[in-house]
Amino acid sequence: MSAETDIRFDAGNGIVYLAPRGEMSGDRFVDLLADVFVDPAFRKGMHLLWDLRRANPGGLRPADILRIHRFTQDNLAVRGEGCSALVVSSELGFALGRTLAAWREQAGPAMRLFSSVADAEAWLLETS
């Protein structure tokens, strides 16, 4: 897994916490998801909490967002119905996250955007 990403598996609450730092690209998102899905600590149906406040989404393009969406759709059998919460702190991060969430509303587990980890975690725990 990336040295620039803190990843923690909370099996008790069924949440994977991902906190990347630095430049984000479609490849980096997909690589992180792929690593999580094969990690022995991952269980089908776990929620994903992405803390993107220290990440720079400036390198993401619409094609990257579509690629991330397609990867999650292609891996639903592995991932299960766990929801995703994205914690963002910039307008650009919110706009990109909203685009991804809009695609996810059409198919796949729920996704919401938040400005705090506490709010994101509370929502994920409510959906369990």
pLDDT in tens, 52-96: 999 887 778 888 888 888 898 899 899 898 999 989 886 656 566
Q: Tell me what pLDDT residue 1 has.
A: 44
User: What confidence category does residue 2 fall into, taking pLDDT thresholds of 50, 70 and 90?
Assistant: very low
Q: Tell me what pLDDT residue 117 has.
A: 96
Q: How far is CA 79 from the centre of its chain?
A: 12
Picking from 65, 66, 115, the residue whose alpha carbon sits closest to that of residue 90 is: 115
Q: Tell me what pLDDT residue 104 has.
A: 59
Residue 10 CA to residue 106 CA, distance in Å, equals 28
Q: How far is CA 4 from CA 21, 39, 71, 124, 126, in A?
A: 6, 17, 21, 24, 29
Instruction: Report the chain's mean pLDDT, rounded to a whole number.
Output: 86
